[in-house]
């Protein structure tokens, strides 16, 4: 084999259009909280292919925005809209139940371009809306007290057109609290989703909660946290105001409990997780003298101390 043939055989094969697209999408979708625009800029620079980037962004940004439940200001400044799978009407339209408006969203720019009134079909019945409004008022009060700059919304899910008692229906409570501080090399978010099922026949309200915490610290390093927790609870089916108060108290209890458990685990990290990450002894079965490292040179003395020198 000639030198030219050998050089050709060792060169890596060019990635296909589909492979580039999938890799770009992966990086975009897995961006830390609040950092997809920074990642997108780097992905675009690395790809050097506008068509691949635009195709990847068109698929990845909607998924990222919905999974992180980003909150965008309405164009007329009448309120905010949360981009979630529960508020989605079409891929680019999202309902704000408080103002009964539908926002048209540009996913890649992460902005609202226009707004329109929601149709009757897109809104719940008066009976369900009474419960939704009551829960929304209580949850808004709780989020305002518990989460700095936190936002929330309550959506009607299954059975939203139920007109009177006798049938089941479901509300979904979503809570988002973000802190983006790239100048201090850290970003993070708290996201919780609560499915609240009103079971008329059993006269009970079932709650299923899912809480997610994401954080990214990148000052002279790259450390990420991705924690999740699920729970269940229930309360009695009562009047809208009484139900709302009970639902809020249950959510407050479980979220406070989980936050306390996270704080406790962080305090124990140095004595538990970090110690477990370190090898107790190196392969030489000899402890490294961490207390006296300054006396060694990088090559000769450390090798001698660890017994791996010639």
pLDDT digit string, tens, across residues 119-163: 999 999 999 999 999 999 999 999 999 998 899 999 999 999 999
Domain formed by 124-270, architecture: Alpha-Beta Complex (3.90)
Query: What does the pLDDT read at residue 6?
Result: 53
CA distance 190 to 307: 49
Sites in the chain below the pLDDT cut of 50: 295-299, 302, 309-310
User: Which H or E run contains 131?
Assistant: helix 126-146
What residue spans define the domains of the chain?
Answer: 16-67, 124-270
CA distance 112 to 114: 6
Under 8 Å between Cβ of 138 and 152 = no
Under 8 Å between Cβ of 43 and 27 = yes
pTM of the model: 0.82
Burial of 132 (0-12, 13-18, 19+ CB in 10 A): buried
Query: What does the pLDDT read at residue 193?
Result: 98
Tokens of 274: 């970090």
Query: What does the pLDDT read at residue 307?
Result: 54
Tokens of 56: 């990847």
């Amino acid at each position: 084999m000639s030198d030219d043939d050998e050089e050709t055989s060792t060169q890596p094969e060019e990635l296909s259009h589909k492979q580039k697209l999938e890799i770009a999408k992966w990086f975009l979708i897995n961006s830390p909280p609040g950092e997809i625009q920074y990642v997108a800029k780097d992905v675009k620079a690395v790809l050097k292919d506008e068509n691949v980037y635009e195709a990847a962004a068109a698929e990845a940004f909607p998924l990222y925005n919905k999974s992180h439940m980003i909150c965008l200001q309405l164009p007329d400044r009448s309120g905010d809209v949360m981009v979630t799978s529960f508020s989605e009407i079409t891929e680019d339209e999202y309902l704000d139940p408080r103002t009964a408006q539908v926002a048209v969203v540009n996913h890649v720019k992460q902005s609202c371009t226009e707004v329109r009134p929601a149709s009757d079909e897109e809104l719940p019945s008066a009976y369900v809306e009474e419960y939704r409004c009551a829960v929304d008022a209580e949850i808004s009060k709780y989020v305002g007290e518990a989460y700095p700059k936190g936002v929330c919304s309550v959506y009607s899910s299954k059975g939203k057109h139920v007109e009177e008692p006798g049938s089941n229906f479901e509300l979904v409570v979503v809570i988002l609290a973000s802190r983006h501080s790239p100048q201090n090399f850290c970003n993070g978010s708290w996201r919780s989703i609560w499915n609240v099922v009103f079971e008329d026949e059993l006269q009970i309200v079932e709650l299923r909660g899912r809480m997610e915490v994401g954080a990214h610290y990148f000052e002279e390093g790259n450390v990420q946290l991705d924690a999740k927790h699920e729970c269940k609870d229930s309360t009695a089916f009562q009047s809208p105001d009484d139900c709302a108060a009970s639902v809020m108290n249950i959510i407050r209890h479980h979220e406070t409990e989980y936050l306390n458990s996270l704080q406790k685990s962080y305090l124990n990290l140095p004595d538990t997780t970090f110690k477990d990450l370190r090898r107790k002894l190196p392969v030489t079965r000899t402890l490294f003298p961490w207390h006296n490292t300054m006396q060694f040179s990088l090559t000769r003395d450390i090798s001698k101390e660890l017994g791996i020198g010639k």
